[in-house]
């Protein structure tokens, strides 16, 4: 989903109060509001396929799978994001008793848009790295078959890239696998010059 920076600076408390009344989603990065725009057909299909695949594998386990409506908080520089798919396998912890801001995700998936790819791979990933519970961060291209799996190995982050539709994405932290053929099910690309 695309993010558009709005020149407004709010405290985290002001953002949360404002966001809970807003008619549309906005992310928050170090005081700056980032308005979220609509998503393409490919983005929606990929997000739905990933959510469906993970939900079905985790339905009888102690994990919860959330869609892009669940906000995630990152610290120490307070930021709030709406990942495309989030999984938590411990008891979920929330910022307050509204239960709309998750503090302890295990896996986060972002589907890349042309307008947000650099942000998702850069500033957003740096913020996500600060979440102690986060074990895997997955970036999925919507323009071609390309999935990046970033995973925590002790104190370091490692990356594996998948570019073949026959590949299978392992998510070791939640003991799940997603075939890329499932992730990209019904997604069609047109060759444009």
Q: Each residue of 168-181: b (16+ CB within 10 Å) or e? A: ebbbebbebebebe
Query: If you write DSSP's letter for every residue of 21-88 in order, what string do you get?
Result: T-SS-EEEETTEEEEE----HHHHHHHHHHHHHHHHHHTTTT-EEE-TTSEEEETTTTEEE--SEEEE
In tens, the pLDDT along 155-186 reads: 899 999 999 999 999 999 999 999 999 999 99
Coil/strand/helix, residue 101? strand
What is the average pLDDT across 9-15?
Answer: 88
pTM of the predicted structure, to 2 decimals: 0.90
Structure tokens given for 124 = 């957003």
Contacts of 62 (CB under 8 A, 6+ apart): 89
What is residue 4's predicted lDDT score, i.e. its pLDDT? 46
List domains and CATH numbers for the chain.
Answer: 40-72+81-183 (3.90.1570.10)
Q: What is the mean pLDDT of the chain?
A: 91
Residues linked to residue 110 through DSSP beta bridges, in sequence order: 139
Cα separation, 43 vs 45, whole angstroms: 6
Neighbours of 95 (CB within 10 A): 16
What is residue 8's predicted lDDT score, i.e. its pLDDT? 62
Distances (CA, A) of 147 to 127, 132, 165, 193: 20, 23, 10, 23
Whether the predicted pLDDT of 2 surpasses 60: no
What is residue 192's predicted lDDT score, i.e. its pLDDT? 47
Whether the predicted pLDDT of 191 surpasses 70: no
Q: Tell me whether the omega of the peptide bond preceding residue 9 falls within 30 degrees of 0, making it cis.
A: no
Contact 174, 53 (CB under 8 A): no
In tens, the pLDDT along 118-149 reads: 999 999 999 999 999 999 999 999 999 999 99
């Amino acid at each position: 989903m695309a993010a558009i920076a709005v020149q407004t600076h709010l405290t985290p408390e002001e953002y949360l109060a404002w966001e809970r009344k807003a008619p549309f989603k906005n992310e928050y990065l170090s005081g700056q509001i980032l308005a979220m725009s609509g998503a393409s057909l490919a983005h929606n299909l990929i997000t739905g396929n990933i959510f469906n695949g993970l939900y079905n594998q985790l339905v009888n386990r102690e994990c919860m799978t959330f869609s892009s409506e669940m906000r995630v908080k990152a610290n120490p520089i307070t930021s709030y994001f709406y990942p495309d798919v989030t999984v938590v396998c411990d008891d979920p912890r929330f910022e307050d008793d509204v239960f709309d801001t998750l503090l302890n995700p295990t896996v986060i998936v972002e589907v890349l848009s042309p307008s947000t790819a650099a942000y998702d791979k850069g500033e957003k990933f740096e913020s996500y790295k600060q979440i102690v519970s986060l074990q895997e961060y997955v970036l999925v291209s919507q323009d071609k078959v390309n999935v990046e799996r970033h995973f925590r190995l002790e104190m370091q982050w490692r990356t594996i890239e998948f570019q073949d539709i026959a590949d299978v994405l392992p998510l070791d932290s939640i003991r799940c696998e997603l075939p890329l053929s499932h992730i990209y099910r019904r997604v069609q690309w047109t060759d444009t010059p």
